[in-house]
């Protein structure tokens, strides 16, 4: 691949020039400092980030190919063995009819789509931190402007332990940690820009649209002069890239304790172009996620002055994104281990 960005081009040429002298995959890893290049995204003007991200991902793929080639030359190729499969030790591996090797499997569709989602946000200048699968009351509620006894707590049917720990019902439980971690950036005229993927849990009655376990991706952006227009433009850009088509979007007022103002965010149905179909309930629009401007109390709780800085946040269900993309009717398919369903995505 040829690179237009001078910095990426220089790194690629140096790597190719040193390749004959690199003996193993560890040396190849050391030859390129990818983290520094990815960190450089946030220093670029907004209109240059997409192309820079595309070329940087190309360099990453080139590096991965070199690593795989080096690894293959270092180690002998061995037949994969599934140690959980029924097995007769007296039968040679290549003659065993019940042996399942690892190359017969594939990635789960949610894993594949989550990687695609994160790749888009990387190219938009966001970093990623994975959410937790066990947390506490402070991060789940208090830090997000849910005071003790607040009625909005009842909207989140949470699982909890006898010790008072909580299985997070939303990836927003990471907001306070990330705001505290990134607030020093604000003093250097930088922004806080993160997406937070993770698995969340709710005590739901299961049906085709509701699961007790599903995936969310949170977005968080804070800086000087950030406004709701930035929020809408960010989400629209992401969704058009994910669904690979032009979309109209709209918002309507809603209530979340941790954002003010808060919105429900809807997009024009990507399947019928607003003409009406079974997927959008013949309305032409699909309500997709909740979002809003970060509440001043949430910023204060993290030690950030809301008179000086502002930001936006959103939370979207990854399962729902994928269901819409592939016209999947039942969310329970993702957790069912139904091979007939999963093999469609191999």
pLDDT tens digit string along 73-130? 554 455 565 666 555 556 665 665 555 555 667 789 999 999 999 999 999 999 999 9
Rounded (10°) CA dihedral 83, 87, 92, 97: -110
Distances in Å between the Cα of 98 and the Cα atoms of 83, 93, 298 are 12, 10, 56
pLDDT reading at 237 higher than 80: yes
Domains of the chain: 6-85 (no CATH), 109-345 (3.30.930.10)
Residue 67 has a pLDDT of 64
SS3 letters across 210-239: ECCEEEEEEEEEEECCCCHHHHHHHHHHHH
The reported pTM is 0.69
Chain length of the chain: 346
- The alpha carbon of 96 is separated from its chain's Cα centroid by a whole number of angstroms, namely 40
Residue 57 has a pLDDT of 81
**Rounded-to-integer distance, Cα 224 and Cα 232, Å:** 17
pLDDT reading at 28 higher than 60: no
pLDDT reading at 300 higher than 90: yes
Q: How confident is the model at residue 196 (pLDDT cuts 50, 70, 90)?
A: very high
pLDDT reading at 31 higher than 60: no
- Listed ranges 71-80, 148-157, 223-232; the one with the highest mean pLDDT: 223-232
**Rounded-to-integer distance, Cα 256 and Cα 322, Å:** 25
pLDDT reading at 201 higher than 50: yes
């Amino acid at each position: 691949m040829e690179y237009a960005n001078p910095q990426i081009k220089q790194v690629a040429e140096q790597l190719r020039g040193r390749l004959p002298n690199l003996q193993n995959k560890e040396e190849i890893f050391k030859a390129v400092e990818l983290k520094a290049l990815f960190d450089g995204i946030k220093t670029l003007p907004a209109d240059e980030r997409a192309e820079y991200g595309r070329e940087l991902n190309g360099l990453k793929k080139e590096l991965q190919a070199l690593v795989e080639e080096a690894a293959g030359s270092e180690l002998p190729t061995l037949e994969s063995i599934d140690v959980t499969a029924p097995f007769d030790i007296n039968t040679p591996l290549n003659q065993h009819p019940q042996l399942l090797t690892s190359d017969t499997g594939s990635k789960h569709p949610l894993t594949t789509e989550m990687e695609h989602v994160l790749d888009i946000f990387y190219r938009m200048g966001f970093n990623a931190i994975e959410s937790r699968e066990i947390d506490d009351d402070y991060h789940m509620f208090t830090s997000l402007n849910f005071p003790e006894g607040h009625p909005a707590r009842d909207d989140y049917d949470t699982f909890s332990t006898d010790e008072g720990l909580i299985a997070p019902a939303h990836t927003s439980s990471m907001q306070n940690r990330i705001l505290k971690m990134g607030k020093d950036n604000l003093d250097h005229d930088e922004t806080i820009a993160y997406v937070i993927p993770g698995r969340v849990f709710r005590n739901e009655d299961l049906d085709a649209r509701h699961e007790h376990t599903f995936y969310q991706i949170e977005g968080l952006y804070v800086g000087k002069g950030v406004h709701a227009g930035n929020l809408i433009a960010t989400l629209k850009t992401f969704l058009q890239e994910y669904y690979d088509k032009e979309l109209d979007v709209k918002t309507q007022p809603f209530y979340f304790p941790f954002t003010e103002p808060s919105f429900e965010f809807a997009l024009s149905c990507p399947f019928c172009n607003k003409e009406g179909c079974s997927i959008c309930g013949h309305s032409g629009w699909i309500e997709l996620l909740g979002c809003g401007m970060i509440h001043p109390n949430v910023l204060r709780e993290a030690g950030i002055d809301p008179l000086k800085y502002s930001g936006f946040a959103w939370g979207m269900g990854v399962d729902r994104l994928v269901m819409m993309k592939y016209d999947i009717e039942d969310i329970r398919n993702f957790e069912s281990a139904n091979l007939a369903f999963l093999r469609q995505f191999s």
